[in-house]
Structure 1
Amino acid sequence: MIIDIREAYRRALDDFGALVHRIAPEQWENATPCVDWDVHALVNHVVGESLWVPELLAGRTVAELGDTYDGDLLGDDPRKAFDAAASAAVHAASAEGSLTCVTHLSFGDVPGEEYITELFADALIHTWDLARAIGADDRLDPELVETCADWFAGAEDGYRQAGVIGEQQPLPPDPDPQTRLLASWGRRT
């Protein structure tokens, strides 16, 4: 069953946020499956993406925003920073017209639905990354995995050509849907 992409995005951010609230003080420097990112950098990335959402869905351009969301966005309370950014992103993505608006991304203009789908997929995959980094249960919501896999089957080649995902990883015999999805994103399970 494929769910509404706005609901999928909200649920993926909720799952990521639940893990953010479990990060122990000594875990912020833990390595993640994302090359060159520790836990702090990974959470900062998701916060940064979330801060862009209301702006881009409102029609602003990357050029207009410039470096507004560069640097450390977590401050002295990373959990609060995440919660505020995620709440604003979900609110903007759920607003009337969010699926049909034109979003001006760095690589071109896309419908809001495509942008929200990309955000959802990124949040879902990074939920697994964060879980692995802090030693939490890394099983993703099967319904979200299915939704992401259905979309990513048509987007994978473009992502790989753009260099924003790693190489396809080898699969074990008879992989489950989550393992298959993660391998397509370049993750070794």
Structure 2
Amino acid sequence: MTSTEISPAQRYRDLAAGFTARIDAVPADRWDNDSPCEGWTARDVVRHVLDSERDMVKVVGLELAPGPSVDDDPSAAWAAVRDSMQAILDDPAKSTLEYDGHFGRTNLGATVEGFLCFDLVIHGWDLAAATGTDTTMRDTDVEWVSEIAAGLGESIRMSGVCGPEIQVPDNADKATKLLAFLGRKA
């Protein structure tokens, strides 16, 4: 790792803080608003993130600590999952546990970084768009997610992942182009 790279644990900590801020910004009366993800409300977006994180650690025989239901308290439900995932990532013996993934042999930390951290950025935007809160994404996050998305090839279009790319003008900003690539309208 060079001095400009960060570990999966560091990336998760940073992006989870951003996702936390997005959750904390949601007014109580907007959790059932429709999201850009077809058929999902804002609450469902958070539910998906929580379920993805819980399911991910199970592939290496781990479990996240239980917490409140997203239906009762989305913020507290997220905090329980976030803190439990962070503890796993901060433990090299756990974060380097290997398994056979969709793209071959990998480890938990690499998958959290390449998949779950990706979700924190994009579903953070989905949550903000659904609830009328600030949808701004940091340029560094847009660039990083764009690289990950490009590397996924056509697998990004699998059922339940992302919709078809939406056409945008050539002069659109990078965030708009990324969202369009992922089937979202900025």
Determine helix, strand or coil for the equivalent of 1:157: helix
Answer whether contact 2:98 2:108 (CA < 8 A) is retained.
yes
TM-score by length of structure 2 reads 0.82
AA aligned to 1:29 is D
Aligned AA for 1:95? D
Q: 1:81 aligns with which of 77, 84, 93?
A: 77
2:130 is matched with which residue? 133
In the alignment, structure 1 residue 49 sits paired with structure 2 residue 52 = yes
Q: How far off its partner does 1:162 sit?
A: 5.1
Residue 169 (1) aligns with residue 166 (2) = yes
- Aligned residue in 2 for 1:17: 20
SS of 1:13 mapped into structure 2: helix
Amino acid corresponding to residue 45 of structure 1 in structure 2? H
Structure-2 change in CA distance of 1:3 and 1:187 (3 Å): farther
Inter-CA distance 145–24: structure 2 relative to 1 (3 Å threshold): same
CA distance in 1, matches of 2:89, 2:158: 27
Q: Which residue of structure 1 lines up, in the alignment, with residue 148 of structure 2?
A: 151
Amino acid at match of 2:39: D
Contiguous gaps of at least 5 residues in structure 2:
none
Asked if 2 retains the 8 angstrom alpha-carbon contact of 1:54 and 1:93, the reply is no
Asked whether the 8 Å contact 1:160–1:167 carries over to 2, the reply is: yes
Question: Do 1:99 and 1:113's aligned partners in 2 also have CA atoms closer than 8 Å?
Answer: yes
Q: Measure how far apart 1:150 and its partner are.
A: 1.6
Question: What do residues 121-174 of structure 1 show as CA deviations (whole Å, max 9, x unaligned)?
Answer: 111100100111111111112212211212221113222145521101112232
1:61-72 to 2 correspondences below 5 Å = none
Distance 2:46 2:146 in 1: 23
Displaced runs of 4+ in structure 1, greater than 6 A? Answer: none
Q: Write the distance in 1 (CA, Å) between the matches of 2:168 and 2:153.
A: 16
- Answer yes or no: is the 8 Å Cα contact 1:104–1:110 preserved in 2: yes
- Counterpart residue number, 1:115: 111
Q: Which residue of 2 aligns with 1:35?
A: 38
3-state secondary structure, aligned to 2:135: coil
Q: Is contact 2:163-2:183 (8 Å) kept?
A: yes
Alignment RMSD: 2.7
Equivalent residues of 1:2, 1:143 under 8 A apart: no
One-letter identity of the residue aligned with 2:127 = L
Q: Which runs of 5+ in 1 are unaligned?
A: none
Aligned length: 179
Distance 1:3 1:145 in 2: 16
1:26 is paired with a residue whose SS is helix
